[in-house]
Structure 1
Amino acid sequence: MTYLKSARTLFALFLCLFALAAQAQTAAPAPAKLPNVVILATGGTIAGTGATSTTTVGYTAATVGVQALINAVPELQKVAHVSGEQVFQIASENMGNEQWLTLAKRVNALLAQPNVDGIVITHGTDTIEETAYFLNLVVKSKKPVVVVGAMRPSTAISADGPINLYNAVLTAGSQEAVGKGVLVVMNDQINAAREVTKTNTVTTDTFKSPELGMLGYVVGNQAHFYRASTRKHTVDTEFDISKLDALPAVEIAYTYANVGPTAVNAFVAAGVKGLVHAGVGDGSLPTKVRPALSAARAKGVVVVRSSRVGQGIVARNGEANDDELDFVVSDTLNPQKARILLMLALTKTGSTKEIQRMFYTY
């Protein structure tokens, strides 16, 4: 009798343990679902090749296709379901308005699909900051868009392209990057499109956000954000390029000691709609150039005072009476980014007051 009671007790205990194990198995979290990230390739050094493994200058950009870039980093499959498209295959010094419109429309079309969680754009470093800022103003989604490049070709010793691409895909697939605007991820750092700029011709740490600082790091297979840009971007902008086939002609006139009005006059004669003056200091207007800029404005050309310095605010009515001249100031945008915002602004209005508002908004 005692034996039977012991057997029943053991059997009951077994059933209890079995039930607990089954419950634990049922309650175990399912494997994390990997995000779907599309890589849009445009060429650049990240897709470049050199004559030898030590060729880090004098290489040929834009020779490696998108699938080869993906295959070279098999670790991508551990952090995202990755697919690729070859949008362009060019060196980024050849990136222009036409390519920007094509790229932006494709980005918006992809992000509108529910099965796309983020986009990575491989790009040459020479104009990466400009493409990123253009997209920052016209992408109509909060989903992450990350622009990435490399300073060394894919064939070089210690090529930075593979790790940059891995970090870009990781960031584009992260929830932390949602709503942060268009990002540039290189050298383990995350920068905002509006503030980032190339600061060195050859080193891998070239991309920085002077004064305002980067947004965060990619460390330990995770994107870490420490701040966000307060300027409006992506879904919160007023710009719509869906029906645009071209952008207004806007040029940059660079200022230096002994500069004359030749460049300004030539741009006006060519029919530009807008002109960014990359002035010295706080956007100062040299005596020889001021009359030409004033005449340009009188002819309907919108003039934006910017600075070649690269950091700091260009103060309205500081080095020039902008109210009297009817000029716009660039705030903290460098000349190349001021040109982008002015082009988009001119698709909406010719009012300098409205355009100035946009420069203080974006």
Structure 2
Amino acid sequence: MTTSEGGGVVPALTAGDLVGAVPGLADTGIAVDVVNFRSRPGASLTFADLADLARSVHQAAADTSGIIITQGTDTLEETAYYLHLLHTGPQPIIVTGAMRNPTLAGPDGPANLLAATRVAASPHARDRGALVVMADEIHAADRVRKAHSVSTQAFTSPNGGPLGYVVEGEPRFLSHTAPRHAVPTPVRQPRVGLYTATLGDDATYLSATAAHFDGLVIAGFGVGHVPDTWVSTLTALAQQIPVVLASRIGAGPVLTSTYGFPGSERDLTERGLIPAGFLDPYKARILLHLTLAAGANAQETAAAFRAVAYPGEPWPWPQQPATNAPTA
């Protein structure tokens, strides 16, 4: 982003501009090939954009040690998880951005790009899929989320914390990554909705909007609860399309067997809703989108969520990365 004639900042800098503004990058000895893929605000990205990006990443991966994606932070966490689910190679995909644009004092973009470059070139980052590098922290794509609108420390991983840090220019991994799963290449673009539970909602709007979707994620209260007035609507929907139950909290899991009242997580899963485990609603929507985009049936979709929620459960497709992540 940089200043526009009409006021405010807009995406106008090229990838070469970004790389050229990084102090110390040449001193690392890391060769960086620059590609201008697309120039759009993060808020305007579409699944079609990400599908094109994933194809470009796949084509370029064999000739690189790692790949860095720079984008606006609005949808950065969703891009990272999307690429993570489609990437089967050992090369790390590092997604990074900036919270403070270059027109402000102390922009963080150059530092984030330098850290991302060091992580992308590190042998310790291989076989970990997509990672997010911001503020010298290394986050797993399936955990990270933007938790502050303006802070340079905006990105956190509530479930498990960062995988590691960039310390004195060296990536240091302290934690394991979860087993990697690869969704087959998309063959269509389904419409997947996200509906959040709020106090007093009687499901009128849920009923009106759900008919337009091929799949739906419900961001429920707490451990996966909704108002009892939703039960009949969700029961009917779950017989027609995959309906995934996540928590609007963004940290902690959806439960499956603790509460038993109408609209509780146990009641809803018995009615056919698919629990999202530790995935927050935004990542659950990405996983649901990609499973449906790959042509998955209801059983394969449910199996994919079980495998992500419970390591050791069988993954429904044979396509897998060659190796899992190394130990920390």
Q: Same fold (TM over 0.5)?
A: yes
Residues 302-313 of structure 1 correspond to what in structure 2 (within 5 A)? 302-313=242-253
Residues 251-270 of structure 1 correspond to what in structure 2 (within 5 A)? 251-270=193-212
Contact 1:283 1:307 in 2 (8 A): yes
Q: Helix, strand or coil: the match of 1:304? A: strand
Contact 1:98 1:245 in 2 (8 A): no
Residues 72-221 of structure 1 correspond to what in structure 2 (within 5 A)? 72-79=21-28, 80-113=30-63, 116-221=64-169
Aligned to 1:240: 184
| Aligned CA distance change for structure 1 residues 92 and 240 (closer, same or farther; 3 Å) | same
| Aligned CA distance change for structure 1 residues 119 and 276 (closer, same or farther; 3 Å) | same
- Residue 14 (structure 2) pairs with residue 61 (structure 1): no
Q: Pick the structure with greater CA Rg.
A: 1
Tell me the distance in 2 between the aligned counterparts of 1:212 and 1:323: 26
Tell me the distance in 2 between the aligned counterparts of 1:334 and 1:286: 20
Aligned to 1:26: none
- Residue 2 (structure 2) pairs with residue 49 (structure 1): yes
Q: Percent identity?
A: 34
Aligned to 2:290: 344
Contact 1:97 1:246 in 2 (8 A): no
Structure 1 stretches lacking a partner, 5+ long: 1-47, 52-57
Q: Helix, strand or coil: the match of 1:343? A: helix
Aligned to 1:324: 270
| TM-score (norm: length of structure 2) | 0.86
Q: Helix, strand or coil: the match of 1:85? A: coil
| TM-score (norm: length of structure 1) | 0.79
- Residue 303 (structure 2) pairs with residue 361 (structure 1): no
Contact 1:231 1:361 in 2 (8 A): no
| Aligned CA distance change for structure 1 residues 66 and 360 (closer, same or farther; 3 Å) | same
Tell me by how many angstroms 1:215 deviates.
Answer: 0.5
Tell me the distance in 2 between the aligned counterparts of 1:111 and 1:213: 28
Tell me by how many angstroms 1:264 deviates.
Answer: 2.0
Tell me the distance in 2 between the aligned counterparts of 1:83 and 1:355: 37
Contact 1:59 1:153 in 2 (8 A): no
Contact 2:242 2:301 in 1 (8 A): no
Tell me the distance in 1 between the aligned counterparts of 2:79 and 2:289: 13
Q: How many residues align?
A: 299
Residues 254-293 of structure 1 correspond to what in structure 2 (within 5 A)? 254-270=196-212, 272-293=213-234
Q: Helix, strand or coil: the match of 2:39? A: strand
Contact 2:57 2:67 in 1 (8 A): yes
Tell me the distance in 2 between the aligned counterparts of 1:183 and 1:324: 35
Structure 2 stretches lacking a partner, 5+ long: 259-263, 309-328
Counterpart residue identity of residue 275, structure 2: V
RMSD between aligned residues:
1.8
Tell me the distance in 2 between the aligned counterparts of 1:144 and 1:327: 34
Q: Helix, strand or coil: the match of 1:275? A: strand
